[in-house]
Structure 1
Amino acid sequence: MSDRLRVLAGYSPDDRGEDALALAALLARGTGAALTVANVHPPAWPARGPGSVDAEWVGYLKEQSAAALAQAGERLGALKVAKKDAAFRQHAHRGSGRGLIEVAGETGAGLIVIGSAPRGRRGRIAIGSTADQLLHGSPVPVLLAPRGYAEEAPERFGRLTVAYWRRRDTEAPLAVAGAFARRLGLPVRLVTLVLRPPGLPARFLRADDVVQRQLAQAEKDLAHAAGVVGADGAVEVRTEAVPGVGIAKTLGAVDMPPGEVLACMSSHDGPLRKVFLGESAGKIVRAAPCPVLVLPRGGGTR
């Protein structure tokens, strides 16, 4: 990462935009990050003549986008970020997530922040079309705010928890997570969910022995990961292996106080240096009661 983190917040004049802005402002206050607020609006529609567009429609789209960014600028003051310290961008694209990826490339952003889709439960993250595009192609980490975060945001972050399973290509994302924690001055907790398949005790007489072996292996893997994250001694790292049945239920047993940020890694099946949300990570995102940071496979941040 560069010395100064560049944060891009996707803003729309609704609750999800407010949640994203509150989370991005908290980052800016905590790290001194350079903040850009972007509103992605639809492109112009083709009009009667070939290659022409409806000038009135274009003007309306730009006017609405400018009004949204003006509202964001006013909101920043209440979030203790001076409007003059932020940049504002309008961008036309058919897909809001893909549009944010383009703006991130143009501005050198190392992190994209968005809110939950509006249909989600309060305090949880629902993945809508914007998040889906970002979580299947962003070259930089994506930070998602739970629904209602703007109303309940803490004064500061308290800890970064990383959901960890040992596999190939995990060391680079772990290093990114460690760098993120250092920027915010946060301790790191590495958590592995040791999942017992439903019905295992009924089929295996020594099921508890199986789980104990899984826990023992998880603790070894966590010790290795802790060495990667805390290699320079600048980050306090602790580990936790949590047994349970199902990702959502097991994650619910993990203590997540206010100020927590949960990080998870992209699927090994996704493209290198891109975010690609796999099935397990998707379940973690939806079950988490706090902001979730999704890390690209192989690192991939600025």
Structure 2
Amino acid sequence: MKLDNVLAGYVAGPRGRDGLCLALLLRERVHARLTVATVQPPAWSAPGPSKAEESAWRAYLREQAAAMLDQARELAGDDAEYVTHPYRGSGRGLLELARRSGADVVVIGSAPGGGRGRIALGSTADQLLHASSVPVLLAPRGFGDDPPPAFERLTLAYRRGPGCDAAIKDAARTAAVLDVPLRLVTLVVSPGRRRKIEKDMLGSLRDQAAADLRAAARGRSSVDVEVLEGRNVAQALGTTTWLRGEMIICASSDTGPLRRVFLGDTSIKIVKAATCPVMILTRQP
């Protein structure tokens, strides 16, 4: 997986700063080209405006876009390209811009309303996470307040399936590019109180998950594996240690379209429970 061309979606405020700081961390590590984009609505959406009204509206949009990109420039400096892209819907606008610019990854911040250190999915993320032709990287709320100096480790949320080999290869390439270790984890979610037959089934599931992880890591040097177990996804993720410079990688659902991002139920839960950035890969054949 390439990371040569990074597209950061920017809006005014903390969430724009969170996503841009994550994009800057990625750019600095891999010396990538960075494009910072703000998506604005079309010049006029109401029917029959007068020329004066339309002119005033266009001027207002230009001023808003310029102000936002000036804020972004204060963070990212002049070593980036800054663009305004008119489109109805910020997520769909970023999708179109990613195709036009040949971006390798799209980076955005968390939607408003989520808890600090967590990722909330709004309309922009929803559009990206169900249609993007390139991986999508999400920054948790508050990431830009005190970003880590560098990435320290990649953790792939592994599940055995048709696309698992492609996901491991992508994760291994990304870890090599970032020069960080790779870890594979599998989540085992179980209810609290169990009868004996349920305990036996859970034991078998746990053993199978561990065997799948060992098989997936075989032949790859310096790859750690862990089975994370809890009553839900959040509790399972909380049973291991997460480094300050950690990034989680999730594969797209096997039911989604090829070469597109398509978030499944488990991946959605991982995104919402994660306390570090999360990258969603496209589905590979």
TM-score (norm 1): 0.89
> Is 1:131 aligned to 2:125, yes or no?
yes
CA distance 1:49–1:280, change in 2 (3 Å): same
Give the counterpart letter for 2:55 in structure 1: A
Q: Give the deviation of 1:53 after TM superposition.
A: 8.5
Q: Which moved more, 1:88-97 or 1:219-228?
A: 219-228
SS at match of 1:30: helix
Do the aligned partners of 2:229 and 2:239 also contact (CA within 8 Å) in 1?
no
> Is 1:30 aligned to 2:29, yes or no?
yes
Paired residue for 1:6?
5
Report how many residues are paired.
284
Give the counterpart letter for 1:10 in structure 2: G
Paired residue for 2:58?
58
RMSD: 2.0
- Output the CA distance in 2 between the equivalents of 1:112 and 1:279: 21
- Output the CA distance in 2 between the equivalents of 1:257 and 1:171: 25
Q: Give the deviation of 1:178 after TM superposition.
A: 1.4
- Output the CA distance in 2 between the equivalents of 1:93 and 1:30: 31
- Output the CA distance in 1 between the equivalents of 2:105 and 2:57: 32
SS at match of 2:149: coil
- Output the CA distance in 2 between the equivalents of 1:275 and 1:27: 20
Do the aligned partners of 1:268 and 1:297 also contact (CA within 8 Å) in 2?
yes
Q: Aligned runs of 1:1-302 on 2, under 5 Å?
A: 1-2=1-2, 5-46=4-45, 47-48=47-48, 54-76=54-76, 83-199=77-193, 201=194, 204-227=195-218, 230=220, 236-298=222-284
Give the counterpart letter for 2:105 in structure 1: L
Paired residue for 1:80?
none
- Output the CA distance in 1 between the equivalents of 2:53 and 2:267: 42
Do the aligned partners of 1:7 and 1:34 also contact (CA within 8 Å) in 2?
yes
Q: Which runs of 5+ in 1 are unaligned?
A: 77-82
Give the counterpart letter for 2:210 in structure 1: E
- Output the CA distance in 1 between the equivalents of 2:271 and 2:68: 27
- Output the CA distance in 1 between the equivalents of 2:158 and 2:191: 18
SS at match of 1:85: coil
TM-score (norm 2): 0.94
Q: Which runs of 5+ in 2 are unaligned?
A: none
- Output the CA distance in 2 between the equivalents of 1:88 and 1:175: 32
Q: Give the deviation of 1:152 after TM superposition.
A: 2.1
Give the counterpart letter for 1:215 in structure 2: R
- Output the CA distance in 2 between the equivalents of 1:89 and 1:53: 25
Give the counterpart letter for 1:208 in structure 2: K
- 1:14-49 CA-partner distances (Å, limit 9, x unpaired): 110000011001111111111110000111224427
CA distance 1:108–1:53, change in 2 (3 Å): farther
- 1:191-228 CA-partner distances (Å, limit 9, x unpaired): 001122354x1xx3243332221122112211232248
- Output the CA distance in 2 between the equivalents of 1:49 and 1:145: 39
- Output the CA distance in 2 between the equivalents of 1:49 and 1:195: 56
Give the counterpart letter for 1:221 in structure 2: D
Q: Which moved more, 1:212-221 or 1:29-38?
A: 212-221
Task: Provide runs of 4+ in structure 1 moved above 3 Å.
Answer: none
Do the aligned partners of 1:44 and 1:53 also contact (CA within 8 Å) in 2?
no
Do the aligned partners of 2:254 and 2:283 also contact (CA within 8 Å) in 1?
yes
Q: Give the deviation of 1:5 after TM superposition.
A: 1.4
Do the aligned partners of 1:146 and 1:291 also contact (CA within 8 Å) in 2?
yes
Paired residue for 1:79?
none
Q: Which moved more, 1:114-123 or 1:169-178?
A: 169-178
